Amino acid sequence: MYVIIAVLFIFLVGPLHATVRPDDCFECHDAFKKYNHGKAACTDCHKDTASLPHQEKLAKPLCAECHKETSALYAKSIHSAGGLSCKECHAVHFLDKGTKNCLSCHKGIAHGSIPSKEKHLASMGCAVCHGKIKKGSATAQLRVYVRKGGAIGKETIDPDKNSVVDQAESDRFLAYLEQNYKDLYTISRSYSAAGDAHGVTKKPLQCDGCHGDGSIFREARLRLSGVSSYTFRADPKILIPELPSIKEYKATVHGKKGIACFDCHISQERISDNTCLKCHKEVYGVYKNSVHTKKGAALCTDCHNPHSITAYREYNAKQRIDVCARCHKDYVDKHAWLPHTRLHFNYLECSTCHSPESQKSIVFYLGKRSGGKKQALTYRDIRDAYGGHADLKNIIDADGDNAVISRELSDFFLALQKKFQEELFVGGSIIVTKVHHDYSEKGTKRKVCTTCHSHNAPFYDSMYLILPDAEDHLYIPVKGTILGAAPISVFTDLSLLGEERVNLEDIRMLLGFSGKDRTGQVQELGFKWIDILGIALFAVILIFIMLHIIGRIFLKR
């Protein structure tokens, strides 16, 4: 009984409540008679008109109540941030009058330069890059029309018969066409991608969106027509090639700083020095006056690979030499005058001598010998040894003064050695740590060995220990007589003729005249002990001879 009353109530009271119909509205709002917004009634949006007469000032209709997803997307967009409402583009009462498109406002805008600009702009709408595009929503098609000649079998296109044409099969097929059907075929490529213009953001889709992991273009077809007709599914990469190094790019120095492909690549031409100059003005100022540019020999990208995951400072001496040796192939022969030529090149890079204004440093690194080969320890080695990430800087720099002295290094080294099966060593090389890009110094006439083979050599004031870390290497400054100090000197793979030997300060320290604490300092002396003992014995013998001479004079012998 109650149920029947309830049903009657809904049937009777419901319609009574929705008394305001569009026709009622049109009595006053004549102009909206032909309004068109799907099946929506006036009161669906203008909710505060449920009873007539309505208030003079009505609340703003909320599109988001129905268009939830679109509104959420739009809320994040640059247009929304600029205060544009839906009405600015959509004729909300008369949808049939059409919607504004990008060009309605951005008329005549010159699109920035991107590689293959015409092709990109012709085959895709603005919203593909500037709006929001769903993953896997785009498709592409490669149409091949062969107008004459013999039939083409399926297996010519898809030899592995998996019904998908991959990159290798596509390349082979196109080569086959060129060889057997030259001038008898045409190729066209079409792309179907649609972005949502509601999601226009400041940052457009990057190149890797389509040319990276292929997540946007998930489907592609290869359609053959003419002498034979087939349609194959295809790897989208045959139409949207994956850019070389795109995967690693985000881990490169440039990638980490958020520099996009098109910040440098404005066409498919190789980038010029002017591109680099946009950011690296100061460095280029030095470089442009150097012999490399004057002779037009080298562009920035001849030496630097902006796509390389490894920053130049992460290169070891050998890798740095390899950069120069791309052009200066005969560098060993050119240095025949240098004693131990190849040995020198094991420890130096070219800039050590040829860029006099660069800052040279001795850099030490940890290495291991495995199977007669020497190799630097990697972060992985360290992680394995410590069973997880180790904050090496704090471990090694026990006193926390942001500098390593020989005792800290030897303590660390000996402790580390216990964690390794292989024999460890401390490698060293003399490389540039702050580059001055003027390589005009040929230095062929000077050949001054004592620039380096002297205790006054500049790199003794600039020494670093390089340790592998999770991302880059840590550069920790090194102080003191680390090269000769015991016991670390024995493990050090770097020995320089003309290193600092014993000096007056050492003798004063040993005799206790310097007022310094002698413990530890004595250990620092390391190989200097040879000279200390040698000179001491020399003095003792001289004194003995003097006494003998005095005896001879005295006894008239």
Partner 1 sequence: MKKIYLHPLPVRIWHWANAFLIIMLMLTGIHLRIPDITSFPQYGTTVALHKYLGYLLALSFLFWLFYYLFTKGLGKHYIINIVDLKGIPKQALYYLCTYFTQGKPPFTPTPGAKFNPLQKLAYSSVMFLLMPVIIITGILFSDILFFFRYIDMVGGLRVLDAIHVITGYCFLLYLIVHIYMSSLGKGITTYVRSMITGYAEEPDDESKP
Residues found near partner 1 in the complex (CB under 8 A):
337, 339-340, 342-343, 346, 447-450, 453-455, 489-490, 492-493, 495, 497-498, 501, 527, 530-531, 533-534, 537-538, 541-542, 545, 548, 551-552, 555, 557
| Residue partners of 348: CB distance under 8 A and separation at least 6 | 317, 321, 429, 430, 431
Picking from 259, 177, 282, the residue whose alpha carbon sits closest to that of residue 226 is: 177
**Shortest reach from residue 528's CB to partner 1, in Å:** 11
**Cα dihedral 253, 259, 263, 267 sign:** positive
Of residues 198 and 354, the one with the C-beta less far from partner 1? 354
Residue closer to partner 1, measured from CB, 49 or 346:
346
Give the length of the chain: 557
Place of tokens 């793979």: 493
Q: Please name the helix (run of DSSP H) or strand (run of DSSP E) that holds residue 164, with its range, or none.
A: strand 164-165
Minimum Å distance from CB 371 to partner 1?
14
Residue 499 neighbours by CB under 8 Å, 6+ apart: 455, 483, 484
d(CA 404, CA 406): 7
Tokens 């400072």 -> residue: 313
Our measurement of the distance from residue 441's CA atom to the centroid of its chain's CA atoms, rounded to an integer in Å, reads: 32
To partner 1, the closest distance from the beta carbon of 448 in angstroms equals: 8
Nearer to partner 1, 111 or 447 (CB): 447
Compute the half-sphere exposure of residue 58: CA atoms within 13 Å on the CB side of its CA: 15
CA distance 113 to 116: 9
Q: How far is the CB of 267 from partner 1 (least distance, A)?
A: 48
Tokens for 380, please give them.
């992985």
8 or 343: whose CB is closer to partner 1? 343
> For residue 485, which of 417, 430, 423, 410 has the smallest C-alpha distance?
410
Closest separation in Å from C-beta 235 to partner 1: 50
Q: Quote the least distance from Cβ 395 to partner 1, whole Å.
A: 26
Least Å distance, CB 529 to partner 1, is 9
6 vs 343, beta carbon nearer partner 1: 343
Strands (E) in 348-494, as ranges, are 359-370, 373-376, 423-434, 463-468, 473-478
Quick one: 522 or 542, whose CB is closer to partner 1?
A: 542
What φ, ψ does residue 524 adopt, rounded to 5°?
-60, -25
* Shortest distance (Å) from residue 429 CB to partner 1: 14
Q: Which is nearer to partner 1, 258 or 534 (CB)?
A: 534
**Minimal distance in Å, beta carbon 356 to partner 1?**
18
281 vs 342, beta carbon nearer partner 1? 342
Nearest partner of 453 among 500, 505, 504, 489, judged by Cα: 500
**Minimum separation from the CB atom of position 450 to partner 1 (A):** 5
Q: Which is nearer to partner 1, 85 or 375 (CB)?
A: 375
What is the nearest approach in angstroms of partner 1 to the Cβ of residue 557? Answer: 6
- Which residues, at least 6 apart from 342, have a Cβ–Cβ distance to it below 8 Å? 332
31 or 555: whose CB is closer to partner 1?
555
The residue among 234 and 494 lying less far from partner 1, judged by its C-beta, is 494
Q: Which of 149, 216, 205 is closest to 178 using CA atoms?
A: 149
In the complex, minimum distance from the CB of residue 280 to partner 1, in angstroms, rounded to a whole number: 37
Beta bridge partners of 367: 376, 425
- Element spanning 146, H or E: strand 138-146
Nearer to partner 1, 50 or 530 (CB): 530
The answer to whether residues 228 and 151 touch, using CB atoms and an 8 Å cutoff, is yes
CA torsion through residues 124, 125, 126, 129, sign: negative
CA pair distance 61, 63, nearest whole angstrom: 6
Q: How far apart are CA 240 and CA 216, in angstroms?
A: 10
Closer residue to partner 1 in complex, CB, 85/495: 495
Q: What are phi and psi of 452, to 5 degrees?
A: -105, -40
Hey, which bits of 302-422 come out as E strands? 359-370, 373-376
Query: Measured from the CB of residue 465, what is the shortest distance to partner 1 in angstroms?
Result: 18
Distances (CA, A) of 145 to 50, 152, 221, 317: 62, 11, 14, 55
